[in-house]
Amino acid sequence: MSSNPILRSALLWGGVFALVLAVVAGGVGFAVDGQRGLVSGLLGTLIAAFFLGITAGSILFANRFSGSDMFVPIYFGVVMGGWVLKFVLFLVAAWLLREQPWVNPTILFLSLIVGVVGTLIIDCVVIARSRMPYASDVRLPEYRASDD
C-alpha cells in the first residue's frame, strides 16, 4: 500500500518526539515534584506514545490484507478495534491512576496532553508533506486509438 511509508514516517517522528518529550516532561516533573513528578511525566509520555503506536500499527497491520477480497471489512474491523482498544485502555489507566499516591495528576495530565497534541501535529505534517495522490493504487484503463 502506498500509505505504508507515510505511516512508518509518522511512527518514526512520533517516537523521536516521545523521547524528547520524555526527557522534558520527566525533567520538569522532577523539578516540580521530585520523583513523583518524574514518574508522572514519563508515564504520561509513555501512554501518549503507546496510543500513537496502536493507531499507526493497526493501520499498517490492516494494510497487509490489501490483496484480499475481504480487505475493506478486515481493514475497518482492525482499525475500529484499535480505537476501541485505545478507549478501553485509556479508561482503565485513568481509573487505576486517579488516586495513586505516587502520581502527580497535573503533571501526568499535562504530559499526556502535550504528547497527544504533539503526535497529532506530527501526523498532520507528515501527511501534508507526503504528496500522496487523493486516489492511490488506481489503474486507469488503457486508451487505444482503435477504440474510437
C-alpha cell of residue 112 = 499526556
The residue type at 102: W
Position 88 scores a pLDDT of 93
Q: How far apart are CA 127 and CA 129, in angstroms?
A: 5
Position 52 scores a pLDDT of 84
Instruction: Note whether 64 and 19 are within 8 A (CB).
Output: no
Torsion angle of alpha carbons 91, 102, 14, 128, nearest 10°? 60
User: For residue 148, how many C-alpha atoms fall within 13 Å in the half-sphere facing its CB?
Assistant: 1
The more confidently predicted of residues 71 and 139 is: 71
pLDDT tens profile 38-91 = 999 999 999 989 888 888 888 888 888 877 788 888 888 998 998 899 899 889
Collapsing DSSP to helix, strand or coil, 1 comes out as: coil
